[in-house]
Structure 1
Amino acid sequence: MKIKKEEFGKFENTAVYAFTLENDHGVTVTFLDYGCTITKIITPDRNGEPENIVLGYDQLVGYLNNTAFFGCVVGRVAGRIGGAEFTLNGKTYSLAKNENDNHLHGGLKGFDKVIWDAEMKENTDKVSVKFSYMSPDGEEGYPGNLKMNVTYTLNNDNEFTIQYDGISDETTVLNVTNHSYFNLSGDIKRDILDHELTLKSNQYLELQENLLPTGEFAEVDGTPFDFRQGRLIRSGAESEHPQNQLAGGGYDHPFVLSENRNEEIVLRDSDSGRQMIVETDEVGVVIYTSNQLAGDDPIYGVQPRKHLGICLETQGLPDAVHHGNFPSWVLEKDKAFTSVTTFKFGLVE
């Protein structure tokens, strides 16, 4: 097990560093202190060939100009807040409108657009980097001085763990996730339409035209949203189901997890033989199949296009501040928040 640190670029005259965690089995994870952004995850295919399985850029400028949130931690609140405002304890808070009339992924300067403090830790069986950031009261309109820690850990069982910890000196709202786009083909050789996703979920949230939840929980039975026995992403991308069409040909939907910490999310690519198991303590996961992905900046030499990656955003349910029937995002004053998601890399049996 080892860990490496090197300069990646400069942001506002401040050096941005890349950290690489490496285990004894050919798995490496590279990420930046800018936005806690994961830039590469290298895993071997069934022939032992190590290749990158996430979308990203070779240079910092790509991330500075990026609107797709490649690999970063998003917050204080991941997802959309309708009307860019919410009421908490009788007070209304106005947030930045950075997606039409909505607030998206923490606003204009969310967790993804700041440099975090970093502390490296090395052990014989695991290596980690603990990132820290103090989000001041009023930043992007949110109440409370919020101290956040995000810890990335890789072990010799090929498990990569993300742990989020937060505490605020005022009651506030918090809903964080990592926004990596996965493509298990390796080095973006193919799109993700023939990736198979298995998901322990009986319900998903219906979306409105603006991609905000209607508030209705829809049953997955008999629909392209039933991943309980495994389903190719292609089946949703090519579906005539109104919800798949509304999302732009695929998925951009929150799913309610029926189990936690029990192989509840499994992504497979039969051609490369790669498999990734995701386990979390979060109530849900947003599945996004990059239906809106476009632009001119090459992604590791590949032109951006639809269905080039899939996001598995473990988190609370979007726009929960406007739906009393959703689990709450409210973080009480001086009460600790902790959330853990683990990605286990391996091969299809």
Structure 2
Amino acid sequence: MISNLGTPASVVIAERAPFGVLADGRLVERVTLGNGRGTRATIITLGATLQALHVGDRAGELADIVLGYDTAAEYLAQPQYFGVTVGRYANRIAGGRFTLDGRAYQLETNHGPNHLHGGTAGFDTRIWTIRSVESGSEARVVMDYASADGEGGYPGALTATATYTLNEADELTIEHRATTDAPTIVNITNHSFFNLAGAGSGDVMDHRLTLNAAAYTPVDDTLIPTVARASVAGTPFDFRESTPIGARIRDGGDAQLRIGRGYDHNFVIDGEYGALRPAARLEHPGSGRVMDLLVTAPGVQFYSGNFLDGAVAGKGGRIYRQGDGLCLEPQTFPDAPNRADFPTARLDPGQVYSNRMVLRFSAAPN
């Protein structure tokens, strides 16, 4: 058990413990990273999932700000991608089809006519192996998963790693890396649902969002991008200035909001792809909690929790309803394997795929 993660310390602590046992007898472990400010991040080996993230408000009161479950079994019984690592390909691929070096591949279609988040047996359903747990000036856990050639219909044997690092500056860094033995496609990200007021406390419509994105990718009625990019200017997708999420989400005159049942779109992040740069700021005025997101990816999928329908009870038995959490998923663009005008999703032997994101937390005064 964690006994000293909430006390001031010069060492950021990482501790490993059992989390639960699945119906087939497989053990799920957890690693909790904690700093002297009381910030705690709990990562479980099922799906390399961010299961809990406790962050202080302006008064120093801690709350868990990510949606999820209390037991390992619930993550498989009621899959909602809460905090998981998604892959091999996060987001959607049209028709589940793509062609690589002249060969056509057919993936599972698990979201209408399209492939979503690696399918029903994606990386989120796998037990990842803990390779290292470190305490010190930073606390870190490294997990990996070996995906066999042909798994899920994807070519190439892929080795993926997920690294979570917490420091004393209240920065949680998540990095996904991968290598392959044959040409393949890769798009791995974290799928946390955030509510800075505390998971299960209500909806996030009062949260204020800033996105450093002058363009986004509009979608068709199956949520597949139609054009490479469109200006956000003059639309409900303009978050270049801090804006409450609920301010325009019910704009019935906007076809894109109707298609997505709210926001479920890829935003093209300003700046150089591959360089770590500011992508988003999320603020909760009531608590003062602020989360800055820095990314290396070309895009961020902003999803306003539109498909949460009250059918799922999460931590503490609290029902999660529409808009009770939001996702900011750094990624390669949806359907990139089928779009030469999008940043490539291709990975070849000898290359290293990398997607790094930094969640930087602070508290604003009244």
- TM-score category, normalised to shorter length: over 0.9
Q: Which residue of 1 aligns with 2:335?
A: 319
CA offset at residue 187 of structure 1?
3.9
Partner of 1:269: 284
Q: Return the alpha-carbon distance in structure 2 between the equivalents of residues 125 and 133 of structure 1.
A: 27
Q: State how far apart, in whole Å, the 2-side matches of 1:111 and 1:76 are.
A: 7
1:336 offset after TM fit, Å? 1.4
Residue 77 (structure 1) aligns with: 89
Matches for 1:38-117 after TM superposition, within 5 Å:
38-117=50-129
Residue of structure 2 in register with 1:245 after alignment: 258
> Gaps spanning 5+ residues in structure 1: where?
none
Contact 1:236 1:244 survives alignment (8 Å) = no
Q: Which residue of 2 aligns with 1:190?
A: 202
Residue 5 (structure 1) shift: 1.8
In structure 2, how many angstroms separate the alpha carbons of the residues matched to 1:327 and 1:105? 18
Seq. identity, %: 38
- Whole-angstrom CA distance in 2 between matches of 1:305 and 1:183: 12
Aligned counterparts of 1:108 and 1:262: Cα–Cα separation in 2: 32
* Among candidates 210, 215, 225, match of residue 203 of structure 1: 215
Q: How does 1:130-141 map to 2 (within 5 A)?
A: 130-141=142-153
CA distance in 2, matches of 1:179, 1:197: 17
Contact 2:200/2:320 (<8 A) preserved: no
2:270 equivalent among 258, 277, 281: 258
Q: Which residue of 1 aligns with 2:297?
A: 282
Q: Which moved more, 1:87-96 or 1:230-239?
A: 230-239
State which drifts further: 114-123 or 149-158.
114-123
Contact 1:170/1:334 (8 A) holds in 2: no
Cα distance, 1:108 vs structure 2: 2.1
1:332 alignment counterpart: 348
Which residue of the other structure, out of 279, 292, 295, is the alignment partner of 2:307? 292
| Deviations 1:155-183 (CA, angstroms, capped at 9, x unpaired) | 11111001111110001000111000000
Question: In 1, distance between residues paired with 2:270 and 2:75?
Answer: 34
Gaps of 5+ in 2: 1-11
The AA in structure 2 aligned to 1:303 is I
The aligned amino acid for 1:60 is A
2:49 aligned with 1:37:
yes
- Deviation readout 1:9-51 (Å, 9 max, x if unpaired): 1232111011111011110001110101111100011111111
Tell me if the contact between 2:278 and 2:293 (Cα under 8 Å) persists in the aligned partners. yes
Distance 2:318 2:347 in 1: 41
Task: Measure how far apart 1:328 and its partner are.
Answer: 0.8
* Paired AA for residue 256 in structure 2: Q
Shift of 1:101: 1.9
Normalization by structure 1: what TM-score? Answer: 0.97
Residues 96, 109 of structure 2: 8 Å contact kept: yes
User: Please, what TM-score do these two structures have when normalized by structure 2?
Assistant: 0.92
One-letter amino acid matched to 1:330: R
Shift of 1:188: 2.8
Q: Deviations over 1:125-169 (max 9, x none)?
A: 111110011100000010101111111111111110011111100
Of the structure 1 ranges 260-269 and 42-51, higher mean CA displacement relative to structure 2 is found in 260-269
What is the aligned residue count? 348
**Contact 2:310–2:322 (CA<8 Å) still a contact in 1?**
no
Equivalent residues of 1:131, 1:150 under 8 A apart: yes
Q: Moved runs in structure 1, 4+ residues, more than 6 A?
A: none
Alignment-derived partner of residue 10 in structure 1: 21
Amino acid at match of 1:293: L
CA distance in 2, matches of 1:175, 1:263: 20
Secondary structure of the structure 2 residue equivalent to 1:83: helix
Contact 1:186 1:272 in 2 (8 A): no
Cα distance in structure 1, aligned partners of 2:79 and 2:159: 25
Tell whether the 8 Å contact from 2:113 to 2:222 is kept in structure 1 after alignment.
no
Aligned to 2:34: 22
For 1:268-307, what per-residue CA distance to the aligned partner results, in whole angstroms no more than 9, with x for missing partners?
Answer: 0000100000001100000000011125331223212100
Partners of 2:15 and 2:133 within 8 A in 1: no
Range with bigger deviation, 297-306 or 133-142 = 297-306
1:321, 1:211 → 2: CA distance? 15
- Aligned to 2:257, the other structure's residue is in SS state helix
Letter in 2 for 1:62: E
Preserved CA contact (<8 Å) 2:21 2:27: yes
Give the AA of the match of 1:162.
I
Give distance in 2, aligned partners of 1:86 and 1:96: 12
Counterparts of 1:125 and 1:186, CA distance in 2: 28
The answer on whether the counterparts of 1:215 and 1:323 sit within 8 Å (CA) in structure 2 is no
Structure 1 residue 66 displacement after superposition: 2.5
> C-alpha separation between the residues in 2 aligned to 1:203 and 1:20?
37
